[in-house]
């Protein structure tokens, strides 16, 4: 059992270490890490890394690095979604909303379902651009030689 687990862990560490794969892992994880609903990005990143065979450690590190930016972008994504749907603006602060959410999860989720939808739509509109920009920047920053060196170290 431990041998099988070891093979899975080592496989996750070794996969996706080429320049192209590293750049895809960085871009995808940072884009998904900005998903405006708290608590979902780690799970989404884990599944997307497994599905697309991206390097799991790179994906998770990028996901944690982008967390403060995610908090800062929740309201811009929400405002974009509200503007697209011509909806009334959400007026609670993030602290007030969080306190209310954690005291009554089901009620708050039902009450603010459209608010969540607006934020998600705002993120969906921006996600392709975010991915493309981060991919291009990371492609310039991750040299081919570095990626091949990482591949040898992982062996």
Tens digit of pLDDT for each residue in 109-146?
888 899 999 999 999 999 999 999 999 999 998 877 65
pTM for this predicted structure: 0.82
DSSP at 104: S
Q: How far apart are CA 155 and CA 149, in angstroms?
A: 10
- 13-47 pLDDT, tens digit per residue, is 667 778 888 999 999 999 999 999 988 999 999 99
Task: Please state, in angstroms and as integers, the Cα–Cα distance from residue 95 to each residue in 24, 99, 100, following that order.
Answer: 34, 6, 9
């Amino acid at each position: 059992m431990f041998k099988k687990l070891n093979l899975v862990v080592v496989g996750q560490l070794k996969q996706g270490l080429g320049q192209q794969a590293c750049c895809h892992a960085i871009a995808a994880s940072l884009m998904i890490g900005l998903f405006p609903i708290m608590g979902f990005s780690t799970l989404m990143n884990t599944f997307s890394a497994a599905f697309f065979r991206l390097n799991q450690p790179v994906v998770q590190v990028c996901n944690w690095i982008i967390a403060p930016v995610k908090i800062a972008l929740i309201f811009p994504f929400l405002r974009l979604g509200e503007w697209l749907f011509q909806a009334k603006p959400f007026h609670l602060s993030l602290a007030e909303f969080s306190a209310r959410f954690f005291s009554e999860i089901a009620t708050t989720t039902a009450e603010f379902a459209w608010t969540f939808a607006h934020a998600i739509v705002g993120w969906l509109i921006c996600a392709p651009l975010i991915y493309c920009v981060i991919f291009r920047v990371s492609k310039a920053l991750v040299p081919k030689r570095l990626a091949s060196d990482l591949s040898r170290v992982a062996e």
